[in-house]
Structure 1
Amino acid sequence: MADRRLQVFHAVAKHGSFTRAAEHLFMTQPAVTFQIKQLEEHFNTRLLERGHGRVSLTPAGEIVMAYAERILDMSEELESRVSELTDELAGTLTIGTSTTIAAYWMPRLLEPFKRKYPRVIPRVVVGNSALTEARVTARELDIGLIEIVTDQPAIERRTVARDELMVICQPGHPLSGEASLEAIDLMGYPFITRDPGNAIRELAEKFFESAGISMDQLIICAEIGSLATVKYLASCGLGYGIASRAAIQRDLREGRLAAIPLEPRLYTPLEVIIPKDKFRSRLIATFADHVVEVLGRMAEEIDPSNESVAD
């Protein structure tokens, strides 16, 4: 509903970059530049200063930015209010999710929601939990699904369930026959760890540290952002990894991986996060409720002890 030029201008000003604005809007950079040029021609003045790798607002740009934020907020509220009257959810829903949730949980969350609300367009952005949390805090995402417990005051969180973390390795690996593994048991073997900011990496580091083992005492053989790559390298015998139980169900059934519980048991939370002071459209609220219901049910199917976790 809002003027597309204002939407593009707002994104460029907020991100301080034509390139990052284009990525956020799923546009090409020339298309972003064209929209800004049209807006500047409309007002017959320069709105943005370009230089030193970053964009800044001119005095006129500051005024346009202030009004753009108000107009865009009102436009979003208008769309939601009218949609509520028609009793049909529609529009774009921008969802941030961690790599593990994207790989296993997200497809089964989206399929029933899309069938019920076909006019909703989910736009899923995958990144580690820390990045997703930051983008929800900055209101770049409508909703986030993460594996860390956030204490950000600008975020409303709902703990849905938990997912057990397990050591994964090639069947036949020396670790594969153990009933459970303590931190000390893992020290002599190559470890395929995750990227900085990844929730599973942070929990694994705390697991070792609580046993008095620092990360520089471990044999780190790779640092991988992709869950699929971690599983593949582990299945090839290059080392062991730590992954969530939900993410390895098919690999276990098909015999590609062995999984061993940690001792003490280690769990990652499954959290739904929303900007606390953002206008809460019915679309966002409905999807959040849907995630809590479906994710909780899925988690309980995998691990019955999840029944009492969701709050």
Structure 2
Amino acid sequence: MADRRLQVFHAVAKHGSFTRAAETLYMTQPAVTFQIKQLEEQFNTRLLDRGHGRVTLTPAGEIVFAYAERILGLSDEMETRIAELTDELTGVLTIGCSQTIAGYWLPRLLENFIRKHPRVIPRVFVANSENIENRVAAHELDVGLVEKQSEDPTLECTLACQDELLVIVAHGHELASASSIKAADLQGRPFVDRDPGAAIRALAEDFFRRNGVPPETLNRRGELGSLPSILHLVKQGFGFAIIAKAALNDYNNRGLVGISLEPRLYSSLNVLVPKDRFRARLHSTFAEFAVSMFTNMERGDAMPSGIVIPGSQDSSNS
């Protein structure tokens, strides 16, 4: 509905590149260049500076970009409001989630949501919780599913459920027969850790710190963003790791043993959406659906084993 030239200009300015804008808009680069030229001719001034491998805004371009954001935002809002009159949810929904959530909770959530709203197209991005939180706050993602509670005042964060974190070791490891493990028992032992920014890493570091083991003294053998890689290295005897119980259960790794920490430690599944004055019904509906599904599923059936509904047991250590 909005002027196509403004859409193209906004994409070029946002990405700082004609090539990336063309890819995003599914246009050829000459077509993008033509639209920008037409807009500059309309205003009779240069809006973009090309040079040094990147496109930057001129002073006039800064003004046009600010108005373009407002105009395009209002156009999207209008189209969404009109579409909602049909009472049928439709469109692309961008979802960001952590690796554990993507692997074990998201498939069932998407299955149920798409069955109910078949015209919705989910577009999923997987990263660590900190990355997802930042992208939701920047309005690059519509909804975030993360393993940490956000303190960002621009975000609405709803706790859906909790999952116990376990120490995992290979069968035959000297800790494999332990009924529970204290922080001091792990000091000095080889540790296969998550990547910086991962919520489980932050929770583990806080656990060690609170129990007298400075995180910087841990014997880290690796920092990995891939959960399957962590499980493989632990299985091969490279050290211990700390993961969500649901992940261990779903992988069904016969070569791994999960042991509770003492005191017990829990991660949380949280649903993030921006605190906007206007929020598309699709975004709100999915966020509410996710919270409802995770808090009302029967444990051990539709929900991965190990999940704890907030309030169903003492979660003071979470």
TM-score norm. by structure 1 comes to: 0.89
Contact residue 161 and residue 299 of structure 1 kept, 8 A:
no
Shift in Å at residue 83 of structure 1?
2.0
The 1:105/1:4 distance shift into structure 2, 3 A limit, reads farther
Aligned to 1:126: 126
Q: Tell me, in whole angstroms, the C-alpha distance in 1 between the residues paired with 2:140 and 2:273.
A: 11
Q: Distance in 1 between matches of 2:139 and 2:63?
A: 21
CA distance in 2: counterparts of 1:230 and 1:249, whole angstroms? 15
2:37 aligned residue: 41
What is the CA deviation profile of residues 244-270 of structure 1, one whole-angstrom value per residue up to 9, with x for unaligned ones?
A: 111111234x51321001111111111
Q: 1:210 to 1:130 in 2, by over 3 A?
A: same
In structure 2, the gaps of 5 or more residues are: 314-318
Deviation at 1:10, TM superposition (A): 2.5
SS of 1:86's partner is coil
SS, match of residue 231 in structure 1: helix
Q: Match for 1:39: what amino acid? A: Q
1:65 corresponding residue in structure 2 = 65
1:191, distance to aligned residue in structure 2 (A): 0.3
State which drifts further: 99-108 or 34-43: 34-43
CA distance in 2, matches of 1:195, 1:220: 11
CA distance in 1 between partners of 2:19 and 2:170 (Å)? 42
Structure 1 distance, partners of 2:32, 2:138, is 22
**CA distance in structure 1 between the aligned counterparts of 2:97 and 2:28, rounded to whole angstroms:** 26
**C-alpha RMSD over aligned residues:** 2.5
Q: Cα distance, 1:80 vs. partner?
A: 1.7
- Structure 2 distance, partners of 1:206, 1:22, is 45
1:163 aligns with 2:159: no
Which AA in structure 2 matches 1:283?
Answer: L
Deviations 1:224-257 (A, max 9, x none): 01111111111222111110111111234x5132
Shift of residue 216, structure 1, vs aligned partner: 3.4
Change (3 A) 1:17 1:98: farther
Give distance in 2, aligned partners of 1:8 and 1:258. 54
Q: Partners of 1:142 and 1:63 in 2: how far apart? A: 26
Higher helix share: 1
Superposed CA deviations along residues 7-40 of structure 1, whole A, max 9, x for unmatched, are 44324433545677678x4x68xx5744541321
Residue 36 of structure 2 aligns with an amino acid whose one-letter code is E
Cross-structure match for 1:260: 259
Runs of 4+ aligned residues of structure 1 deviating over 3 Å after TM superposition are 1-9, 14-23, 31-36, 50-55, 297-301
- Scaled by the length of structure 2, what TM-score is found? 0.87
Question: Which residue of the partner structure matches residue 92 of structure 1?
Answer: 92
Who is 1:275 aligned against? 274
Give the counterpart letter for 1:94 in structure 2: T
2:217 corresponds to which residue? 217
* Residues 83 and 264 of structure 1: CA distance in aligned 2, closer, same or farther (over 3 Å): same
Change beyond 3 A, Cα 1:118–1:185 = same
The answer to which of 148-157 and 2-11 deviates more is: 2-11
Gaps of 5+ in 1: none
Give the SS at the match of 1:308. Answer: coil
Count of matched residue pairs = 305
1:143 paired residue number: 143
Structure showing greater radius of gyration is 2
Matched-pair identity in %: 52
Contact 1:137–1:155 (8 Å) recurs in 2 = yes
1:250 corresponds to: 250
| Change over 3 Å in CA distance of 1:304–1:206 after alignment to 2 | closer
